[in-house]
Chain A
Amino acid sequence: MHTLKRTKLAIFLGLLPSLIIYIGIAVVPIGLSLYYSLFNWDGITDKVFIGFDNFTKIFGDDIFWLSVKNNVIIMLTGLVGQIPLGLAIALLLNRSLKGASFFRTVSFLPVVISSVMVSLIWGMIYNTEYGFLNGFLGLIGLESWQRNWLGDPSWSMISLSVAYIWQNFGLYMIIFLAALQNIPAEVNEAAELDGSTGLHRVFRITVPMIRSTILVAVIYSISNSFRVFDLVQILTGGGPAHQTEVMTVYMYNAAFLSRQFGFGSAVSILILLFSLIVVSLVNKVGREKDA
């Protein structure tokens, strides 16, 4: 097609700007994070090389492990909350149902709203004095159920999880709906001839047909759970007393509030590692089952 000598130059010039921006700002910093993680550094004065001391310090910090635990809770919320809810709605909407497009529109709506807005809106729902939830409980005579939803350590993670489900389940609904609509009509006809109906058909035929999509959704949900930041930072800031802290907030606080850039970098490397390990494990297990 293009065999001229000049094409080589054209290709080079065409790719160069993208490569410079992408490598300079998305790739090189990962290396830098790894490098910074070996230093004691406040970002201003000279770096002091300390080897793997940052990592030792992190692993010895109870608050870090608390944040890991909270990340696991967020991950499970995604897996047992968002995905099944999304799947259930997708299955219901995959039939000729009056008002299906309304339900689809409404379910997806939170997905387009920024997580900042989602967090601020839920902050108002959970507001102890003037919030929706306590107001509603008061209205139906359940004053004894009223809580400081975000400030009570035994409820704060649950409150966060509900907001997290609200924010994202619509995305999974749409992903599953797209997959369901791709199932060939013959499959359903064959199932009908076999006398397979109702829930039996859903679990034996429909769900297995979209297995690979479910796997993609699971992986996406897991990797997403490691990236949760806005919701926690805005709703609780990790409080009360670190009870809702997740790894990203732990990292942000270390780096940008306590000015421990080396320590924060070490945390960010761990976030990257953890998420890569979990995602590749799930990917491996999922594909093995496929074979």
Chain B
Amino acid sequence: MIEKRSPLASIVSYLFLFLVAVFNIVPLFYMVVGSFKTESEHAASPFAMPNALQWENYSRAWEVANMGTYFMNSLIVTFGSLIVTVFLGSLAAFFLARFKFKLRGFTYAVFLLGMLVPIHATLIPIFMIMKNLSLLDTYASLILPYTAFHLSLTIFILEGFMRGLPKDLEESAVMDGAGIYRIFWSIILPITRPAMATVLILNFIYNWNEYLFALVLISKEAIKTLPLGIASFVGIETASLTLQMSALTIALIPIIIFYLLLQKQLVNGMTAGAVKG
């Protein structure tokens, strides 16, 4: 839609958008600049630019904050849950979308219900379950709930996509005598790639950022994920703000790169996730 606007309206629009952009960028910019200062520079004036870039803040933050461990744990937990969720979810979606059976509608409805459940209502029982299974302070204690809570959305998106595929897709394969799982693996799954991308990105970002389950289920330093680890680091390392800023910047960089690279898919996925969830 192209429309002529008065110059005044344009200026006001730009001014507004510009202010919003400043509002969004300044906190991040402030943190990145601060991360390059010495402690005394920052204390003297939070606004001044650093005299020299203190790269050693970064190496120190990496060491002191155990960033390597946290990154590793986050990768394991995020990808562990992501693989289990997408594999099980696509299998379930396949049967729900391409077959007729008695409890199909009911099963589907049960899965969808999960999108309404706030995780807080399950937190205490999940803690007890993990405790009784002796799973506290293990990767599994996070992978299981992450999977359970994201199966709903995963199945919802994949089922919708698979249902829309033409009906005769499997027929020739059935004629050739291919088994059901073979049809799933070599016919349906490859075509589902676009929806799969959405689901993978959504699961990645939700798992990578999750905090509450980690807070409750993990207390060992060696198993902490990035959000949990960095929150406790900042809570402990209150003496050095610049060190905190370096640690935060280290944690922020991968997600910003990920965002800039996959912006379109990420935005579409998260919008779908919000609207459907």
Contacts and interface: CB of A to CB of B under 8 A. Distances in A.
Interface of A: 1-2, 6-8, 10-11, 14-15, 17-19, 21-30, 32-33, 36, 43, 85, 88-89, 92-97, 99, 102-103, 105-117, 119-125, 127, 129-132, 135-136, 139, 166, 170-171, 174-175, 178, 185, 188, 197-198, 213, 216, 220, 223, 226-227, 229-230, 233-234, 248, 251-252, 255-256, 261, 264-265, 268-269, 271-272, 275-276
B118 A271 contact: yes
A255 B271 contact: no
B109 interface: no
Given A89-B20, A112-B266, 6 more contacts: A15-B92, A24-B148, A105-B260, A107-B24, A111-B270, A117-B251
Contacts of A93: 17
Contact of A107 (B21, B89, B260): B21
A175 B271 contact: yes
B23 A132 contact: no
Contacts of B165: none
Interface of B: 1-3, 5, 9, 13, 16-17, 20-21, 23-28, 30-31, 34, 42-43, 45-47, 84, 88-89, 91-92, 94-96, 98-99, 101, 107, 110-111, 113-114, 116-129, 131, 144-145, 147-149, 151-152, 155, 167, 170-171, 174, 179-181, 184, 205, 208-212, 215-216, 226-228, 230-231, 234, 241, 244-245, 248, 251-252, 255-256, 258-260, 263, 266-267, 270-271, 274-275, 277
Contact of A33 (B107, B124, B231): B124
- Residue among A23, A27, A29 with most chain B CB within 10 A: A29
A27 B16 CA distance: 45
A21 B148 contact: yes
A129 B208 CA distance: 32
Nearest to B101: A11
A93 B155 CA distance: 33
Nearest to B181: A10
B99 A132 contact: no
18 contacts: A19-B107, A21-B84, A26-B114, A26-B151, A27-B110, A43-B127, A114-B211, A114-B226, A117-B227, A117-B230, A117-B252, A124-B30, A125-B30, A166-B23, A223-B116, A227-B120, A229-B211, A252-B123
A213 B272 CA distance: 12
Which secondary structure dominates chain B's binding surface?
Answer: helix
A35 to B, nearest CB: 9
Given A120-B244, A130-B241, A114 B255 contact: yes
